[in-house]
Structure 1
């Protein structure tokens, strides 16, 4: 019998095959985007898909987003990141709104993100991951969210490639939820190959945080 989890992995494979043929060559955040009422984005959200960038493919194996809300400047959320070789890190992210759907990370929070994203098991620094954070904190972030099915953060790397992190309100999203997310990316001209987070195959790692 084809379970929901099997369907999910098959759908990911189909997406990967389709988008590998037509990779986007330009990274540019669209001018016109939808406003998001963050107070309607309830409960916990989990990183399920990403572009396998240097942050997500090395040490970060899962991400949980919670306590999402509007602020006077834009929005805030509490982020917990699970790591392959180090303890979980929890920090608050404030985002300053530039225009509908486009935000900028609070610069004062960069050290916390760097500590979570770039630390290697031997106590050194992953310079390639640091370049992703340099782009994250020095450029704009496109937020795409229908407030109940998907939450996308997308930004341009220093090499002008899309970095896309996709969260859902579950580690096992439905095909409908994935389709809604994918259609929104296509609408915005974002064509990338997406990979599942390691916690999709090992949800017990994320559940242990509750």
Structure 2
């Protein structure tokens, strides 16, 4: 199934190459219904090639919990093979459909997860990414609660940062098509690349 995912993603990437666009936050994005996500687990298998994901193989996202300000989730960030870092990510709702990472709670944990295994100079770069990108820009989450869970971040530079997660490590073609259709319906055309995730449970 991974090969089918790769072939489909390649075709969809090719169809998107002609669209060079500056990123934007989609209009009319609905707030997440955390109750529908309770008990679900998602694996990141498609993403843009960006500064934040350069040291991670994939991520497992689970344990969605509603909070007073938004929601929190448990992440298992794989940095190579089955090496991983477990941490909790907190998102606070800023405006309709746009969330911000809780800097006070997540700065240190996120830096530790994304810097794991890096050399000193890369650790400094990772800390800069966390503080000046992931802790600064708003996140939009788009999901149909069944096929895909997509994270969209629009950098001030105009660069898309998109990570699409699926309910298992071998998504069906239906899962992938549903994710791409949702992005295209929002007018988002970005190159996404497949990740082979060996994440354990």
TM-score of the aligned structures, taking structure 1 as reference length: 0.85
Task: Count residues with an aligned counterpart.
Answer: 198
Q: Report the CA distance between 1:131 and its aligned residue.
A: 4.7
Name the SS of the counterpart of 1:125 in structure 2.
helix
2: CA distance, partners of 1:88 / 1:5: 21
Residue of 87, 90, 93 corresponding to 2:86: 90
2: CA distance, partners of 1:88 / 1:171: 16
Note the 1:78-157 alignment, pairs <5 A: 78-84=74-80, 87-108=83-104, 109-119=106-116, 121-126=118-123, 128-133=125-130, 134-157=132-155
Q: Report the CA distance between 1:80 and its aligned residue.
A: 0.7
Q: 1:118 to 1:174 in 2, by over 3 A?
A: same
2: CA distance, partners of 1:127 / 1:190: 31
Whether 2:2 is the aligned partner of 1:9: answer: no
Q: 1:52 to 1:8 in 2, by over 3 A?
A: same
Q: 1:38 to 1:123 in 2, by over 3 A?
A: same
* CA deviation map 1:107-142 (0-9, x unaligned): 121121112223553344355544542222112111
Q: 1:6 to 1:187 in 2, by over 3 A?
A: same
Q: Report the CA distance between 1:195 and its aligned residue.
A: 0.7
Tell me how large the CA RMSD over aligned residues is. 2.1
Contact 2:87 2:113 (8 Å CA) reproduced: no
2: CA distance, partners of 1:7 / 1:146: 22
* CA deviation map 1:146-196 (0-9, x unaligned): 112111111122422010011111111111111111111112222110011
- Structure 2 unaligned segments of length 5 or more: list them: none
- Residue in structure 1 matched with residue 177 of structure 2 by the alignment: 179
Note the 1:15-94 alignment, pairs <5 A: 15-24=12-21, 26-41=22-37, 42-57=39-54, 59-84=55-80, 87-94=83-90
Moved over 4 A (4+): 126-131
- Structure 1 unaligned segments of length 5 or more: list them: none
